[in-house]
């Protein structure tokens, strides 16, 4: 598939950087905001977390920024292996973890609506590198390691793309995060330190290919693209997948809903079980509804499903599906509370358990996973976010996924800190 080499070369030509801020682009020289009725500098006090001080220099539209994220999970079961069950993110218990050292260089498209060129390059170092690796880039096409020799810490490049067009219509080419799903790799974009099962095991993390985005008006956004499957630049059998999504936002910005889907051929032996054929169609969709119930209370509903033809060990189709529900309450500019309840059904035991080689909690796990999490986001200064959390996991099915294969549930207390720069 010669196109993969073209995409890589095209993206490498912009290694100087490329960006789409999650915040509104405000900087340290204009960090005035209101907290408790007084005008203050957001670099020194507790204010709106969308406004934080950027310490790296800007060069015109070219921006540089990033964050550091580290924390600890206290598992009350105290597993001897120190693994929190069959996780592939925030997976170590009762020891300090450095999850992300994240650096972004980014150039947005022109703000005035004119045609222009932009793009982005991301680098990630830490324990979360597993979530950002690609076949044919960090890994060889057969999934063997290329440049990360350690099991717990590694370097990944989750995004590297160029973008051309305007704010209402643009084409992205290269390596980018998937539009399918709700949670994400980047720590500041998530309320919780731990990850939902649906994010860890149900869908793709990144893609290599091209994606068109169209914003016909303030209410609608449509995206469509062709990519080389899930998390792959080059694999032993390359296959073009179709990815598409649509989002509607209420004109009053009171609620929004989105639907995204990816479909195409993928390796069907992902869980380590024997499958009838090597590569068959895999499809995954994600439907999200965000409903602000009051000015402070927000409810998010996420329903999703994935299936793979002949993906089960007996040669039948494999299905995995579930529902995630989130509730967020903004207490004030410094504090936000959140709750998450998840049901994840691994119908044939083909998904949960894709993690580090030394993890003794081996698949298959056929049945229902449940998780309940509650946590806080405390922003003592706008560059610092501290996220304490308590989480309970339970499994109903075949196998014992927790405490080194001895329990079907576990209780954990966790906290991490994110410093943005």
What CATH number is given to the structural domain containing 7?
2.40.160.10
**Which one of 54-63, 138-147, 306-315, 406-415 scores highest in mean pLDDT?**
406-415
More confident residue, 266 or 47: 266
Residue 50: per-residue pLDDT: 56
d(CA 320, CA 327): 24
Nearest C-alpha neighbor of 290 from the set 273, 303, 280, 309: 303
- Going by pLDDT thresholds of 50, 70 and 90, the confidence category of residue 397 is very high
pLDDT tens for each residue of 309-334: 999 988 899 999 999 999 999 999 99
What is the DSSP secondary structure assignment for residue 36, as one 8-state letter?
T
Taking CA atoms, 115 is separated from 163, 282, 394, in Å, by 11, 36, 51
Quote the pTM value.
Answer: 0.86
Q: Is the pLDDT of residue 274 over 90?
A: no
Sign of the torsion angle spanned by Cα atoms 165, 167, 169, 174: positive
Say what percent of the chain tops pLDDT 70: 86
- Is 136 in contact with 232 (CB distance < 8 Å)? yes
Q: Is the pLDDT of residue 45 over 80?
A: no
Residue 390: per-residue pLDDT: 98
Q: Is the pLDDT of residue 152 over 80?
A: yes
**Which one of 21-35, 51-65, 128-142, 354-368 scores highest in mean pLDDT?**
128-142
- Going by pLDDT thresholds of 50, 70 and 90, the confidence category of residue 60 is confident
- Going by pLDDT thresholds of 50, 70 and 90, the confidence category of residue 273 is low
Residue 111: per-residue pLDDT: 86
Residue 113: per-residue pLDDT: 86
- Going by pLDDT thresholds of 50, 70 and 90, the confidence category of residue 345 is very high
Q: Is the pLDDT of residue 17 over 50?
A: no
The string over 248-271, giving b where at least 16 C-beta atoms fall within 10 Å of a residue's C-beta and e elsewhere, is ebeeeeeebebbbbbebbbbbbbb
The string over 329-353, giving b where at least 16 C-beta atoms fall within 10 Å of a residue's C-beta and e elsewhere, is eeeebbebbbbbebebbbbbbbbbb
- How far does CA 343 lie from the centroid of its chain? 18
More confident residue, 41 or 28: 41
Residue 277: per-residue pLDDT: 57
Find tokens 């220099």 and name the residue.
57
Lowest mean pLDDT among 112-126, 145-159, 271-285: 271-285
pLDDT tens for each residue of 226-260: 999 999 999 989 999 999 999 999 998 789 999 99
For residue 41, the enclosing domain spans 3-420
Residue 18: per-residue pLDDT: 33
Q: Is the pLDDT of residue 84 over 50?
A: yes
Residue 276: per-residue pLDDT: 52
- Is 324 in contact with 342 (CB distance < 8 Å)? yes
d(CA 1, CA 28): 46
Other C-beta atoms lying within 10 Å of the C-beta of residue 106: 22
Residues forming a β-bridge with 232: 135
Instruction: Provide mean pLDDT across the span 137-150.
Output: 92
- Is 390 in contact with 375 (CB distance < 8 Å)? yes
Instruction: Provide mean pLDDT across the span 170-179.
Output: 98
Instruction: Provide mean pLDDT across the span 69-76.
Output: 98
Q: Is the pLDDT of residue 27 over 70?
A: no
Residue 269: per-residue pLDDT: 64
Other C-beta atoms lying within 10 Å of the C-beta of residue 142: 9
Taking CA atoms, 240 is separated from 3, 116, 234, 245, 362, in Å, by 11, 28, 11, 17, 31
Query: What SS3 state is found at 167?
Result: coil
- Structural domains in the chain (count): 1
Q: Is the pLDDT of residue 395 over 50?
A: yes
Q: Is the pLDDT of residue 382 over 60?
A: yes
Residue 44: per-residue pLDDT: 44
Q: Is the pLDDT of residue 220 over 80?
A: yes
Q: Is the pLDDT of residue 33 over 70?
A: no
Say what percent of the chain tops pLDDT 90: 75
Other C-beta atoms lying within 10 Å of the C-beta of residue 152: 14
- Going by pLDDT thresholds of 50, 70 and 90, the confidence category of residue 356 is confident
d(CA 149, CA 77): 30
Q: Is the pLDDT of residue 359 over 70?
A: yes
Find tokens 């910005």 and name the residue.
253
Query: What SS3 state is found at 27?
Result: coil
């Amino acid at each position: 598939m010669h196109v993969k080499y073209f995409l890589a070369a095209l993206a490498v030509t912009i290694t100087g950087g490329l960006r789409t801020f999650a915040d509104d682009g405000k900087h340290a020289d204009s960090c005035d905001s209101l907290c408790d009725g007084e005008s203050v500098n957001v670099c020194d006090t507790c204010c709106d977390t969308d406004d934080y001080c950027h310490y790296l220099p800007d060069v015109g539209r070219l921006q540089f920024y990033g964050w550091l994220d580290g924390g600890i999970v206290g598992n009350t079961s105290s597993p001897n292996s120190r693994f929190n069950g069959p996780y592939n993110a925030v997976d170590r218990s009762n020891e300090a973890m450095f999850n992300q050292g994240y650096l972004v260089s980014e150039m947005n498209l022109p703000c005035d609506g004119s045609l222009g060129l932009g793009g982005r390059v991301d680098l990630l170092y830490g324990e979360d590198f597993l979530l950002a690796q690609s076949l044919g880039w960090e890994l060889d096409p057969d999934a063997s390691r290329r440049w990360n020799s350690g099991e717990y810490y590694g370097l990944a490049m989750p995004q590297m793309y160029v973008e051309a067009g305007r704010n209402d219509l643009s084409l992205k080419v290269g390596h980018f995060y998937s539009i399918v799903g709700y949670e994400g790799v980047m720590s500041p974009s998530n309320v919780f330190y731990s990850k939902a099962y649906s994010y860890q095991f149900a869908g793709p993390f990144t893609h290599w290919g091209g994606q068109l985005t169209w914003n016909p008006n303030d209410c609608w956004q449509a995206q469509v693209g062709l990519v080389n499957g899930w998390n792959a630049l080059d694999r032993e059998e390359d296959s073009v997948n179709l990815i598409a999504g649509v989002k509607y936002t209420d004109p009053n910005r009171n609620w929004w809903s989105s639907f995204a889907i990816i479909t195409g051929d993928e390796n069907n032996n992902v869980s380590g079980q024997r499958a009838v054929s090597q590569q068959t169609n895999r499809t995954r969709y994600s439907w999200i509804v965000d409903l602000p119930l009051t000015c402070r209370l927000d409810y998010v509903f996420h329903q999703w499903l994935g299936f793979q033809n002949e993906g089960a060990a007996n040669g039948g189709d494999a299905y995995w599906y579930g529902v995630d529900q989130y509730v967020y309450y903004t207490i004030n500019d410094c504090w936000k509370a959140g709750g998450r309840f998840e049901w994840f059904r691994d119908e044939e035991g083909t998904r949960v358990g894709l993690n580090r080689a030394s993890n003794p909690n081996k698949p298959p796990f056929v049945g229902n996973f449940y998780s309940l999490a509650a946590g806080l986001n405390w922003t003592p200064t706008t560059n610092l976010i501290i996220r304490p959390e308590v989480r309970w996991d339970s499994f109903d099915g075949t196998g014992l996924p927790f405490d080194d294969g001895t329990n079907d549930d576990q209780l954990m207390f966790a906290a991490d800190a994110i410093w943005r720069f």
